[in-house]
Structure 1
């Protein structure tokens, strides 16, 4: 599923025309690598021009994680084993979830947490990790607002945003709606300060990773699947070479990204700067 026909297309979206999907999850715990699963997911469509930032569309499910939910976790989000007994599994909702988000820009509060859980669930079901551009609204709030604490609830309160009536606090749907309204409100204030494009916000956050986001996500997926890559690489000496590599991991060093991979040309592990990879493809 190719979602990036042009890397520039979303970066230079005018903020006044921005549409995005706000995502939130509730889980059985904090560690997907240790077996924790999603037990609720919500995705809410917003458009910046919408009056009062009212949502345009919803995707929401309670999810049966096919494992028990610890009592201490249930006390946070209110979801118990009994509540989700007859709910669909994540496998069941994948097709409709992917159809809903399509190639949209995503926004989440502490996005690394939600996206790691979602991508883990997708990969466990044989699907690719999402390559949608994703914005961390928590990071944006920290860079834009001077507050004593940056919980979603406190940020919303500071921006005079009310939590949706009738929905449970710390529930995925209420948090996704609130997160979307927080993002819209901050965008509006940034527009008044002269910010025009989505790229302006990313520069404000120092988000160099967005320049290589598709590559990072796709290569991470290749690592998970133990797939090889064919890359064309520009060395520090300005020479260009074609390499067949087995990717091992991606590292961030001083806000730059590097691929650690076994190189079949040199027959040893090598490090490749992502900003010097001229082209790449996954083999197999």
Structure 2
């Protein structure tokens, strides 16, 4: 889909968002998501050089770990990485409407309040804005199973559309590059690689920390002979 046509479609969708209930999505929204999935260029990403891959590194904060049991997304943060470098000026961040009272432990962990979430945009609107930001970039997340499960659930629940974006897990990279270590927490990996841990458990803050790890580890993998994601997946299969 040409970029200008994409933008026109987005403007049309966003102009109608306010008249739809959060659980009853418009035919335009559903059409957008289905078209987006068709336009994804998944295979080309496999063979693009790691430091030339167009990447959006993202993170979500949620009310819990189980979307099938009613846990919900409360914020999404993302930053773009181009040519192996994080671009601080190309970021996405949004709170997501949550009508219930936020569990106290989540409020303390994230710094997000229930009153803020009640004034936020609904998830359907936030997701459309997020994917407009992403477009055809490859998604990257730290321990991506969490993000993938929530996006799969939301994509089907809101738009009756399967979620088909590839999400590259940063664990794929450090499992190859740091085979002698057993690190998994984001803060541990950051400290090991000399990255100052700032704004932990904030969706955009965690996305930026993960983006810095991505940039470091693609350089480490290049020295090990991994040129692209195909090489990464092939090396992982031998671990």
Q: Give the shorter-chain TM-score range.
A: 0.7 to 0.9
Structure 1 residue 130 corresponds to structure 2 residue 163: yes
As a proportion of its length, which structure holds more helix?
2
CA contact (8 A) 2:138 2:165 kept: yes
Displaced runs of 4 or more, over 4 A: none
Q: Which has the higher contact order (CA 8 A, sep 6+)?
A: 2
Give 5+ residue unaligned stretches, structure 1.
208-284
The one of 214, 217, 223 aligned to 1:186: 217
Question: Aligned equivalents of 1:45 and 1:69: distance in 2?
Answer: 29
SS of corresponding position for 2:212: helix
Give 5+ residue unaligned stretches, structure 2.
1-34
Structure 1 residue 39 corresponds to structure 2 residue 74: yes
The aligned length equals 201
Question: Aligned equivalents of 1:192 and 1:201: distance in 2?
Answer: 12
Question: Aligned equivalents of 2:237 and 2:107: distance in 1?
Answer: 36
Alpha-carbon deviation of 1:176?
0.5
Aligned to 1:60: 93
Which stretch shifts more, 138-147 or 187-196?
Answer: 138-147
Kindly name which structure, 1 or 2, has the bigger radius of gyration based on alpha carbons. 1
Alpha carbon RMSD of aligned pairs, Å?
Answer: 2.0
Structure 1 residues 170 and 181: CA distance shift in structure 2, 3 A: same
Alpha-carbon deviation of 1:24?
0.4
Aligned to 1:3: 39
The one of 148, 153, 174 aligned to 2:187: 153
Which stretch shifts more, 180-189 or 86-95?
Answer: 86-95
Question: Aligned equivalents of 1:155 and 1:91: distance in 2?
Answer: 33
Aligned to 2:15: none
Question: Aligned equivalents of 1:143 and 1:173: distance in 2?
Answer: 26
TM-score (norm 2): 0.77
Aligned to 2:153: 120
